[in-house]
Structure 1
């Protein structure tokens, strides 16, 4: 593995819980979305903090509720830059800070991939190319970016948003990075839409998120989608 013995730092940028998962808003109320965001973050932090090869785990947020939860995992807390807005700016600020501390690699994971396991993370670290290098995992659609392992941390310009996968690959190559693309079912599976919740709930897992989705009484008539993408109304069942 090309990273230092101390290992790369894992950075998890997190929105305020009350603002999480707005695309579920037409279907699920604020309290449901807040609880879902908490469960997913707990799953991601549980996986990351179990990986000894990482030098540490940091959460980037400005939300006191997120900071309180993350603090319970013993992770480092980085304040989201107030002068800049957006995911790209938050990740870039974390990258600059870690690079200034002589950290040689940074892994960025989103807070909404509850199926990620320590083994998934170790696999990303094990095959990472020498610096300057990028290991990148696209989302299931091949459009978004669900994980970035960059060495050094500020090796490329961060460009989250629509078509971010292609833009990150292009930016890394322009910066002279060796690029490794990894397809990971767990890391690529973020929960953004009702159909995502339905698919995740159908497959039992030891995650907090799966258990949350099985809890009865989570708001009458939660909207899911069937395998064909058709909307349907269903009650949560244990």
Structure 2
């Protein structure tokens, strides 16, 4: 599949190239000079033709791969890759593109495996999400990787905030959370993916009720390596 080379200022996204291709094929087509201007490339008909040809080849390749996959059940590697990418923060649309599958296909994989879903809107992200039934638990182990329905992210469980633990740390006051809320409370480390030169992910510490945390151990049956997320 050909890769379209571009300079930083050039507007060679797939959608923009398709937009230009549609305008050139219209009943009243734009000129090649106008096409180059829309793509923010120098006026060069040879390069314009190559960009359009490579774009057409890429689309044809993707359609061929989708056609080959159509009707086929999810392969183990697809289940693993879709789940890992989703838990790392990738959206369903991009995962589907990478697998040459439909977004519905990817959603079905995630639903069947019981992968916690991430809300899409800002309003929904402000709320605590529902957890799949096989994620629900009331006890977690120190160091366990779980899912936070409040922060919509992978978290590492730290310490259970028992009365004894609280009493042993100055400044934490006195509280029996389990009696007060009907749920254990844990300190957690919320993992965040960040872009930096050292390829190091970030995060922050927080507290969570157990019923806002979800188990992920069941995903290991499908080859999901939680520690790699």
Higher relative contact order (CA 8 A, sep 6+): 1
Q: Check whether TM > 0.5.
A: no
Q: Which is richer in helix? A: 2
- Shorter-chain TM band: under 0.3
Larger Rg: 2
Under a length normalisation based on structure 2, what TM-score does the superposition of the two structures give?
0.24
TM-score for both structures, normalised by structure 1? 0.23
